[in-house]
Amino acid sequence: MGGPDVRPVVILADDDEAITSNLAPFLDRAGFTVHVASDGETALELVERLDPDGCVLDVLMPGPDGREVLRRLRRAGRWLPVVLLTQVGESAERAIALDEGADDYLNKPFDPYELLARLRAVLRRARPGRRPLSASPTLRPGDLRMDRISRRAWLRDTELVLTPKAMLLLDYLLTHPDELMTRDRLLEVLWGFDFPVGTRAVDNRIAELRRALGDDPARPEWITTVPGQGYRFVARVDDAR
Amino acid sequence: MTRPTADTLLRVLAPLLGGLALGIVLQATDSRARLYTAASPGLVAAVAGLLATVVVAVVGLARRRAAAAAVAAAATAGEAAVRQVAEEAARDRLRFFMRLDHELKNPLTAIRAGLANIEQAGGLVLASAGTAAALASVSMQADRIARLVSDLRKLADLETQQIETAPVDLTGLLDEVAEAVAEIPAARERIIRVTVPRAPWPLPLVEGDRDLLFIAVQNLVANAIKFSAPGDTVEVRASEDGNALLLEVADTGAGIPADEIGQVWQELARGRAARSLPGTGIGLALVRVIVVRHGGQVAIRSRVGQGTVVSIRLPVPDRARIAPDVAGLRQDRDTPGMAAV
């Protein structure tokens, strides 16, 4: 991205014209220069030709689908931020989305303002020419080490014993450091859908993580509580060399 | 037998639903045509409402077809065949929900994006009060369909998805539920009592997914509050019963008529009394699926004018059956092979 007055260029790839014809002007008005692709092949060509700042990919498209486009981009060493538009709510699906190196994902039907927020966040976090945290197999915030492929984590030499959901939450927090995560967003990460009331479910998992990390909520080293809003992972995250 | 019918129906309706949805978006968003003022706000809202109604009707139809198939099988075959047909029908229904959900996601995404566009375009469009109200209405209806679709999806997910199994302390969970429901405004006008035994030992732990069990209990208590009146009593009672943990949610509300009680566990079941109240009618179906996935059972008893008791029975794993310090003794006595050790 250039200076603050330069409009970021993004590719919006979705085969449903009803979606692109509504989302493109919305993103345009929000300050992006949008190029629309209606299939995976076109999306890859546009990335090649325009070297955009970011990409929004629908998972279900004719030709190479969103995941395949993402895989090809990453294989070619293109580390531009990618937001996947997913269809399915299953946690396995979400884990895969992040494993494959998407910077973030949203379940359809999403709130367009949420897409805007996610897109801005991934662009802000982008490290030009470098692999995004979300595409790194191993992350090392301080004394913590996470092997994202085997889904195991160690604090110094001790392996953390975590429930699968707490591990998923840790993974999401580590790949989105220093970002305010609302309880609703974390609920969606954990469950793929909004709960009747149980935002407490998020608090419980955060408590589990804090216990495992030995983090004192009053003087947090890893996860801070943002009163009335959510949580933020505050430790500096590096990927393994 | 049920599959072709449900499938054909979906195939016929999907483009129609999509078309309706697109119709709304196009009508509402094409600024060059300046259609926002041309389109009758009432019409736009009605179409969105219609969409929601169609979904409910389609789902209801699918369910009735499945039930009819089961009855037909029962007339001609034995119990095993009936069970097989019932299972097949359940799988069909699941596939159907997943596809319905899938088909509605794109049009809903488009509707939301279209609405956001209009909102963003701002002043000019929203200047007319009628238009603003119509947009708010469409937005609300779109959210309603989205909720319905995601609720159905949730059910389908829960029937198949692997659930976590960790020891769950229901005593703590009930405290949390009590806290959560206290935030429902109507709760202040009910007498809510939670009774959990603590002597001589606390409730045994159950195995399962705490978040899901929370949803189940929370739903039952919220329902009891919803279907009772100011001054009514809502009781949540937990007890140990043999190898199971029994949880009852009772209310002194209006009760459920005899002809409706058989359907309450089905998705989208909405009793006559519920029609005037908000909700998608998914709550009890969700409770049933969660409890069944935990190896438990649900039951409901009700008397019109007196109230309703919903009970959940959850299995208690052997090692958690009694307080830990007693468990050792008990194991020595009850397990002959272990007694000598």
Smallest Cβ–Cβ distance between B110 and the set A16, A194, A201 belongs to A16
What's the total number of domains in chain A? 2
> Tokens 């199971």 correspond to what residue?
B244
Q: How many angstroms away from the CA of B336 is the closest CA of chain A?
A: 35
Domain boundary among A90, A125, A160: A125
Do B124 and B257 reside in the same domain of the chain? no
Instruction: Assign residue B193 the CATH number of its domain.
Output: 3.30.565.10
Q: What pLDDT digit, counting tens, does each position of B9-58 carry? A: 444 444 444 445 444 444 444 433 333 333 444 444 445 555 555 566 66
Whole-prediction pTM value?
0.71
Is residue A22 domain-resident? yes
Do B18 and B125 reside in the same domain of the chain? yes
Return the minimum-mean-pLDDT range out of A116-130, A192-206, B19-33, B179-193.
B19-33
When scoring B106, B149, B184, B220 by the number of chain A Cβ atoms within 10 A, the one with the most, hence best to mutate, is B106
Do A166 and A140 reside in the same domain of the chain? yes
Is residue A205 domain-resident? yes
Do A17 and A119 reside in the same domain of the chain? yes
Is residue B332 domain-resident? no
Contact of B2 with chain A, judged by CB distance below 8 Å, is answered with no
Is residue B173 domain-resident? yes
Q: What pLDDT digit, counting tens, does each position of A161-184 carry? A: 988 888 889 998 998 888 888 888
- pLDDT band at residue B90 using 50, 70 and 90 as cut-offs: confident
What's the total number of domains in chain B? 2
Do A179 and A116 reside in the same domain of the chain? no
**Cβ contact (<8 Å) for A196 and B218?**
yes
Q: Which two tokens mark B221?
A: 């208590």
Domain with A46, as residue range(s), is 9-125
Do B124 and B173 reside in the same domain of the chain? no
Please check whether residue B265 is in contact with residue B288, taking contact to mean a CB–CB distance below 8 angstroms.
Answer: yes
Is residue A94 domain-resident? yes
Model pLDDT, residue B139? 85
> How far, in Å, CA of A42 to CA of B18, rounded?
25
Mean pLDDT of chain B: 74
Q: How do strand A33-37 and strand A104-107 relate by DSSP bridges?
A: unpaired
Domain boundary among B134, B160, B186: B160
Which one-letter amino acid corresponds to residue B138?
Answer: V
pLDDT > 90 fraction of chain A, expressed in percent and rounded = 43
pLDDT > 70 fraction of chain A, expressed in percent and rounded = 89
> How far, in Å, CA of A189 to CA of A137, rounded?
19
Do A104 and A204 reside in the same domain of the chain? no
Do B154 and B172 reside in the same domain of the chain? no
Contact of B161 with chain A, judged by CB distance below 8 Å, is answered with yes
**Cβ contact (<8 Å) for B117 and A26?**
yes
The single-letter DSSP state of residue A97 is: H
Do A21 and A120 reside in the same domain of the chain? yes
Domain boundary among A101, A125, A149: A125
Do B118 and B181 reside in the same domain of the chain? no
Q: How many angstroms away from the CA of B3 is the closest CA of chain A?
A: 22
Return the minimum-mean-pLDDT range out of A30-39, A117-126, A215-224, B42-51.
B42-51
Is residue A71 domain-resident? yes
Three-class SS state of B271: coil
Domain boundary among A95, A125, A155: A125
Do A101 and A155 reside in the same domain of the chain? no
Domain with B88, as residue range(s), is 2-160
Which one-letter amino acid corresponds to residue B307?
Answer: G
Mean pLDDT throughout B120-127?
Answer: 67
Q: How many angstroms away from the CA of A129 is the closest CA of chain B?
A: 32
Q: How many angstroms away from the CA of B102 is the closest CA of chain A?
A: 7
Enter the ipTM.
0.79
Q: Which two tokens mark B132?
A: 């603003």
Do A120 and A16 reside in the same domain of the chain? yes
Cβ-Cβ contacts under 8 Å for A173 (sequence gap 6 or more): A181, A209, A223, A231, A233
Is residue B15 domain-resident? yes
**Cβ contact (<8 Å) for B108 and A109?**
yes
Q: How many angstroms away from the CA of A77 is the closest CA of chain B?
A: 31
Three-class SS state of B257: coil
Please check whether residue A212 is in contact with residue A165, taking contact to mean a CB–CB distance below 8 angstroms.
Answer: no
**Cβ contact (<8 Å) for B113 and A198?**
no
Q: Which two tokens mark B292?
A: 């069944």
Do A149 and A109 reside in the same domain of the chain? no
Do A21 and A115 reside in the same domain of the chain? yes
**Cβ contact (<8 Å) for B211 and A113?**
no
- Chain B CB contacts of A110 under 8 Å are 109, 112
Do A177 and A155 reside in the same domain of the chain? yes
Please check whether residue A172 is in contact with residue A209, taking contact to mean a CB–CB distance below 8 angstroms.
Answer: no
Q: Which two tokens mark A142?
A: 């301080």
Contact of A117 with chain B, judged by CB distance below 8 Å, is answered with no
Q: What pLDDT digit, counting tens, does each position of A137-153 carry? A: 888 888 899 998 888 99
| Chains A & B: contacts with CB separation below 8 Å | 98
Q: Which of B124, B127, B106, B156 is nearest to B293 (CA)?
A: B156
Model pLDDT, residue B127? 63
